[in-house]
Structure 1
Amino acid sequence: MAVKRVKSNMDIVTAAKKRIKNVFSNGVPVYMSFSGGKDSIVLADLVYKLIQAGEIDPSLLTVIFIDEEAIFDCIEQTTKTWRRKFMLAGAKFQWWCIEVKHFSCFNELSNDESFVCWDSQKKNVWVRQPPPFAIRNHPLFKPRQDSYQAFLPRICKDGIMLTGVRAAESVQRLQYMAALGVGGKGITKSNTIYPVYDWKTVDVWLYLQRERVDIPEVYLQMYQTGINRNQLRVSQFFSVDTVPSLVHLAEYDPSLMERILRREPNAYIAILYWDSEMFHRSTKTRRELEGEVAKDYRAILRDMLFVQFDTLFDTQHKRHVATQYRKLFLRMDGMARPRDYRKLYEGLMAGDPKLRTLRAIYQDISCAYADYAKRFRKGGEMNG
């Protein structure tokens, strides 16, 4: 899908504040998602300072934190600090410790592909204990079945949700927000507003520095171990896009790493096999380890998706993901390049529970083919 970018004569901070004030001007309940990460801290700081300035009504606001159990200790402390600030300012703060379901890239190796936060069947190995004020259940919540993305719209349907999601985080999010018409019609079908959707990563860090906002120390620890600032993710550890934080965790927080290994024994795989196709890696280290062996990824995919399908994909979710890959293979075969077939293969091998990798590959192939067709037509006109 083509994405049209429109420049504005308003700076991003002013624009974000205007969006927030517009939301509160409706007089309906406002729910703000908070994770303790850098993006949600930026959004929280913007909202909090508007409350201090008397520009929005804090009595309309409920801050929602879905505690995913396997989080950094400093994220917990940061969230407690913001909880206290918002409650003293007159807002409500809901801290949820419920059995929400995630997909775990480590459990892709077994028949159980899920990770259930605060699993009532594994209390003896919880990474942390829930705080005494945490909300543990709700009539509208389906324990062990719901993801928090499915649950939140049910409890926030009477108002508007604010979240710190940004389009610059990935191609998929850029496309998603373009399709929503954010900035055009303004509000989405799920009544969700993204006040900082147009911020780049550098904008986030610059705002936090200029406003002297405290950040969880784990960001500094991760940066010191060599993680690129664009890859500093501090959410739940077990999804394929956040697992990099485990690779060096033992270096700066061995106690937390020990607790994580008790909770998820397969987590050691991130350390042992980080530079491999399992984690979509294409580094020099991986090339040295595996050698420069030429592979026909198109042929490998054909065998996986059409010959060994039932054998390789032996759970309902794996078959669903593989079916989507097979559809894209059929649709793009002939248009895809060798590197695209390799990405498809590695996406299947690493696990792609939310199909983010698949959508990125589709976008890459489509754009490359459109560019090729455009250049071909121009060449034809010139030759004619």
Structure 2
Amino acid sequence: MTSTDDRAGWLPEGAPLDNSPHIRDYVPKHNRPRLAAGADVYTLACERMAYVMDHHDRVMVSFSGGKDSTAVLNVALEVANSDPRYARHLPLRVVFFDEEAIPMETEEYVRRVAQRPDVALEWYCLPVQHRNACSRQHPNWWPWAPEDEAKWCRPLPPEAITTLPGFPIWPPSERLSIPNTNGLLAPPPHTTATLMGIRAQESLIRAHAVRLRSVDNYIIKYKIKSKDRQAAALDRGNLWKAYPVYDWRTEDVWAAARIHGWDYNGAYDVMEMAGISPGSQRCSPAFGEEPLQKIHVYAQCFPDVWGRMSERVPGIGAAHRYARTELYGYGAKPPKPDGVTWPDFLTHYIAKHGQAQPKVAERVRQIIARHYLKTSDPILPTAPHPVTGLSWQFLLTIAMRGDFKERRQESNQLMRHSRETYWANYCTELADLLTAGTAGELAHPRPLPADPFTLIPDEYKDTP
């Protein structure tokens, strides 16, 4: 990326952004400094796309109707139509998983995409497994589930594909998630690249997904996440994920739409008129942990669909009212009662997850085990450990919210300060606990050091 400010990374110097849709007065919250790459982000995306098309037998665009997959779709079409050697990828295979609880504007946009002569769109309306963060007692929901037909948020589109070889409809517990269903879309022996609109700006998890570990850091081997008996059948070793626009920012996406005249989802215009900031505009269902914070956007902007969404999944009414409160693990965390150990405090919240309790408990155990594989130091209430990033407050968030998609990683807690600062904060908090006589509430399995500051490695100690 060539720009070092907040301008779109591929616009000519001095080009105005003021009239670009959805980026007027937009100040991104999570921008990182741009690094000089010798080319603009649009050119780089096209180069990556060409490389993917050259080195894979087949490609398919994972299309949601959102702005990021719109960017991937248009870059892919640009490259596929640019040279006869890419003609084998035309018409471009585009896979759309209709998640039912989406704006009507999304359906209309996807239909326009499907009518393009250079696109072969597959419109799947399958009861794939989705997270329902609205209810701890009912942690999953399934769009287009036949048993819930009376509650569907929208009529079944006429283009809908409702069966897929290898996808189990019954019982509901056997239904696959979208990532695992992708394994059914790319049968061997052909190598297939799934083109996805993952951008590093969106989150630290997505930034880590494309960290520089190889020359082709944006091409990642597809690994089936399922641990059940179907995993072996789904993971055939011939499927890859490609993130050609991973270094784009939100303003890059919208500037590209303006400069190239791309069609896009009209739902963004509705959210823009409602005053929703560009970084908060989402068209996906609002029932998962992160989207739940924006559930009010559906009620405000898409009342036709919201009328059905408000009755679609268990707990939706309470979530609409309290999604951004302590009840759903947002904002300030509840204080731990004096005299209660941290493991017991977490157990109280884990027990609230009903049938999902074992999964949440296992997630917490895995994180703690990861910590003790790297260090024998105790886990503290608030200060993240300088090696692992773990704290009891982080674990409390997991215990309260579940983190079923494992998007929260303890190592991300170490991204704001220097390692020296983290060591100073950690040792100071441990010293305060020892002085107050409350260190026993940590439930640390080993003796605690008399002088916590001796834990600091020499390279992180202040020296004259």
User: Could you tell me the TM-score, scaled by structure 1's length?
Assistant: 0.82
Task: Call closer, same or farther: CA 1:374–1:240 in 2, change over 3 Å.
Answer: closer
The CA deviation string for residues 232-291 of structure 1, in whole angstroms up to 9 with x for no partner, is 221122111122332132233322111112322522223311330244433xxxx7xx9x
Q: Which residue of the other structure, out of 341, 344, 351, is the alignment partner of 1:303?
A: 344
Q: Percent identity?
A: 24
Q: Which residue of the other structure, out of 151, 171, 176, is the alignment partner of 2:204?
A: 171
Equivalent residue letter for 2:42: V
Equivalent residue letter for 1:14: T
Q: Which residue of the other structure, out of 52, 55, 58, is the alignment partner of 1:29?
A: 58
Largest Rg, 1 or 2: 2
Shift of 1:210: 2.5
Write the mapping of 1:213-362 to structure 2, written as runs, cut at 5 A. 213-282=262-331, 295=336, 299=340, 301-305=342-346, 308=348, 311-315=351-355, 317-329=356-368, 331=371, 333-334=378-379, 337=382, 340-357=391-408, 359=409, 361-362=410-411
Shift of 1:61: 2.9
Q: Which residue of the other structure, out of 114, 130, 154, is the alignment partner of 2:184?
A: 154
**Higher percent of residues as helix:** 1
Equivalent residue letter for 1:194: Y
Question: For the residues of structure 1 that align with 2:243 and 2:214, how far apart are their CA atoms?
Answer: 8
- Give 5+ residue unaligned stretches, structure 1: none
Task: Call closer, same or farther: CA 1:136–1:238 in 2, change over 3 Å.
Answer: same
Shift of 1:212: 2.9
1:32 and 1:62 in contact (8 A); partners too: yes
Question: For the residues of structure 2 that align with 1:380 and 1:310, how far apart are their CA atoms?
Answer: 38
1:102 and 1:147 in contact (8 A); partners too: yes
For residue 232 of structure 2, what is the aligned residue in structure 1? none
Task: Call closer, same or farther: CA 1:244–1:185 in 2, change over 3 Å.
Answer: closer
- Quick check: 344-353 or 53-62, which moved more? 53-62
- Give 5+ residue unaligned stretches, structure 2: 1-33, 223-239, 372-376, 385-390, 425-455
For residue 38 of structure 2, what is the aligned residue in structure 1? 9
2:46 is the alignment partner of 1:46: no
2:61 and 2:93 in contact (8 A); partners too: yes
* DSSP-derived class of the 1:78 partner: helix
Question: For the residues of structure 2 that align with 1:26 and 1:60, how far apart are their CA atoms?
Answer: 18
- Quick check: 194-203 or 335-344, which moved more? 335-344
2:62 and 2:95 in contact (8 A); partners too: yes
2:216 is the alignment partner of 1:184: yes
Equivalent residue letter for 2:395: L
Question: For the residues of structure 2 that align with 1:297 and 1:187, how far apart are their CA atoms?
Answer: 49
- Quick check: 30-39 or 196-205, which moved more? 196-205
- Quick check: 370-379 or 189-198, which moved more? 370-379
Shift of 1:329: 4.7
The CA deviation string for residues 142-199 of structure 1, in whole angstroms up to 9 with x for no partner, is 23420010011232243222111112211111122227x4643663222221111111
Question: For the residues of structure 1 that align with 2:218 and 2:145, how far apart are their CA atoms?
Answer: 38
Equivalent residue letter for 1:168: Q
Equivalent residue letter for 1:303: D
* DSSP-derived class of the 1:95 partner: strand
* DSSP-derived class of the 1:303 partner: helix
Equivalent residue letter for 1:83: A
2:293 and 2:324 in contact (8 A); partners too: no
Task: Call closer, same or farther: CA 1:373–1:263 in 2, change over 3 Å.
Answer: closer
2:110 is the alignment partner of 1:84: no
Question: For the residues of structure 2 that align with 1:95 and 1:239, how far apart are their CA atoms?
Answer: 22
Task: Call closer, same or farther: CA 1:226–1:281 in 2, change over 3 Å.
Answer: farther
Question: For the residues of structure 2 that align with 1:47 and 1:379, how far apart are their CA atoms?
Answer: 47
Equivalent residue letter for 1:138: L
The CA deviation string for residues 284-321 of structure 1, in whole angstroms up to 9 with x for no partner, is xxx7xx9xx86569957422345x48844542x33222
Question: For the residues of structure 2 that align with 1:98 and 1:8, how far apart are their CA atoms?
Answer: 41
Equivalent residue letter for 1:267: I
Question: For the residues of structure 2 that align with 1:132 and 1:92, how far apart are their CA atoms?
Answer: 16
Task: Call closer, same or farther: CA 1:210–1:371 in 2, change over 3 Å.
Answer: farther
User: Could you tell me the TM-score, scaled by structure 2's length?
Assistant: 0.69
- How many residues are paired up? 362
For residue 75 of structure 1, what is the aligned residue in structure 2? 106
Shift of 1:17: 0.5
Equivalent residue letter for 2:143: C
Q: Which residue of the other structure, out of 114, 135, 141, is the alignment partner of 1:107?
A: 135
Q: Which residue of the other structure, out of 152, 167, 178, is the alignment partner of 1:126?
A: 152
| Structural RMSD (CA) | 3.2
2:90 is the alignment partner of 1:59: yes
